[in-house]
Structure 1
Amino acid sequence: MGLIVFDLDGTLIDSAPDIRAVGNRVLAEQGAAPMDLAETRSFIGNGAPVLVQRMIAARGLDPSLHATMLTRFLALYEKAVELTVLYPGVADCLETLAGQGHRLGICTNKPEAPTHAVLRHFGLSDRFLAVLGGDSLKQRKPDSAPLLACVRALGEGPVLYVGDSDVDAETAERAALPFALFTEGYRKAAVKDLPHAHAFDDFTALPDIVARQFA
């Protein structure tokens, strides 16, 4: 059996509505205009510090506000789960893969606290044997260190990394690991422009991809 590491936001969950709601509260406190969902999705992928930096730049706010706004964002973000949804088929797919004996992990740029909060919210905490967030190490994706650390925590075996974004594709490439691209998430580039071994738009297809990858 193999090791399957998943990204989280834009891969297993659509969290943009919650991120938007939290970000807009932080912006409102600075008297700035709110983000729409498309803009929010364009800011996601490199972790909360970069997201807040992009919010500040997009609204022409003073960059010196970053620390204050990030602290506020993280405080609100820890429990922001009510607007987040699993992508269709995710729960059944994870159950199938775990039932086949694969060891599952999470490697995300989302901070650890909200990562564990959303996994608890969906009853998925026990599905994952290793979880690395954006603040687990000094490095964040696309640095390969978090992904490789997650793989080491899962043990020995063939590996597949599953993600949705340009950041995930680059992370897998740097780690020299095969990558399965979920095409319905938050990617910015065209599918053809992202290095990947597999691409899918429906989680019912992932078990077959895993079987082919690990054959």
Structure 2
Amino acid sequence: MHPGLIFDLDGTLIDSLPGIAGSLNRALESQGFDSHGHPDVRRFIGNGSYELVRKALPEGSPDATILSVEEAFKQDYALTWPEGTAPYPGIPELLETLSGRRLAVLSNKPHPFTVEIVARLFPSVPFDPVMGQREDLRRKPFPDAALWIAGKWASPPAECLFIGDSTVDLETARAAGMQPVATGWGYHDADDLRAAGAASVLAEVSDLAAFLAVA
């Protein structure tokens, strides 16, 4: 029996940095705040939209300001994300080779965006379930959603692989008792992943394909 495969979304399956940065900067500028270059926004991604905005605003910004900019970001992103979001090269082909295996997506992106993006970019991939950040389950790195997925599959967590590009994904896998698989083409540097305890970092999509072929 092959293990179940839980994939992170941003920085793992899709390059969404251009779309996120565009919407974030428009939201910031609309309320009088400075914008950020892609290298900075890259560092902000991974903990959900609230944390994305909090990190982009001046330190100590009040919660009301964060929520206001976050809402502006969500409204813009809902309309514009397709302009700056695409699968990483090789990912669609990799997913095609996984037919018949249990596949899921677990992201800290707001749930409606996660569902819409996966449906649009991977319409033939049988991900079940697709989960973004929801109010009823704590976001990564808490293990709640990962364990919910394992329960849906009736799979022991130890028989699931959690595949992602961030230290948050590593922490989630460990908290859930799953095997972490660190990828190196996303938004966290390989050195940071190794410092966080990744035994190895798969540098290319082809490396992940080779790993999963024997997993």
Please report the TM-score for the alignment, with normalisation by the length of structure 2.
Answer: 0.89
Larger deviation, residues 84-93 vs 67-76 = 67-76
Shift of 1:125: 6.2
Deviation string for 1:51-105 (max 9, x for gaps)?
11112226x755431222122212222241221121111001111012xx21100
Q: Write the mapping of 1:79-94 to structure 2, written as runs, cut at 5 A.
A: 79=79, 80-94=81-95
CA shift at 1:132, angstroms? Answer: 1.3
What are the residue-to-residue correspondences of 1:37-186 with 2, within 5 Å? 37-57=38-58, 63-79=63-79, 80-98=81-99, 101-124=100-123, 126-135=125-134, 137-156=136-155, 158-186=159-187
Which residue is 2:193 aligned to?
191
Q: Retained in 1: the 8 A contact 2:137–2:144?
A: no
Alpha-carbon spacing, 1:195–1:180, altered in 2? closer, same or farther (3 Å):
same
- Kindly state the Cα deviation for residue 203 of structure 1 after the two structures are TM-superposed: 1.7
Aligned CA-pair RMSD: 2.0
Residues 1:96 and 1:197: Cα distance change in structure 2 (over 3 Å): farther
For 1:120 and 1:136, how far apart are their aligned partners in 2?
21
Unaligned runs of at least 5 residues, structure 1 = none
Q: What SS class does the counterpart of residue 78 from structure 1 fall into?
A: helix
Secondary structure of 1:106's match?
A: strand
Give the 3-state SS of the residue equivalent to 1:34 in structure 2. Answer: coil
The corresponding residue for 1:23 is: 24
2:163 match: secondary structure: strand
Q: Tell me the CA shift for residue 129 of structure 1.
A: 1.2
Deviates more, 1:117-126 or 1:41-50: 117-126
Tell me, in whole angstroms, the C-alpha distance in 2 between the residues paired with 1:152 and 1:138.
14
**Greater CA drift, 29-38 or 103-112:** 29-38
Distance (Å, rounded) in 2 between the aligned partners of 1:130 and 1:154: 10
Whole-Å separation in 2 of the counterparts to 1:17 and 1:205: 25
Partner of 2:207: 205
AA paired with 1:209?
Answer: F
CA pair 75-122 structure 1, distance change in 2 beyond 3 A: same
Query: TM-score when scaled to structure 1?
Result: 0.89
Answer yes or no: is the 8 Å Cα contact 2:115–2:131 preserved in 1.
Answer: no
CA distance in structure 1 between the partners assigned to 2:38 and 2:52 by the alignment: 13
Counterpart AA for 2:114: T
Amino acid at match of 1:3: G
* Structure 1 residues 200 and 131: alpha-carbon distance in aligned structure 2, compared to 1, 3 A threshold: same
Q: Deviations over 1:184-205 (max 9, x none)?
A: 1111553321333552122222
> Displacement of 1:206 after TM fit?
2.1
> Helix, strand or coil: the match of 1:130?
strand
8 Å Cα contact 1:119/1:125 also seen in 2? no
How far the C-alpha of 1:128 sits from its partner, in A, is 0.5
Unaligned ranges ≥5, structure 2: none
Matched residues, percent identical? 32
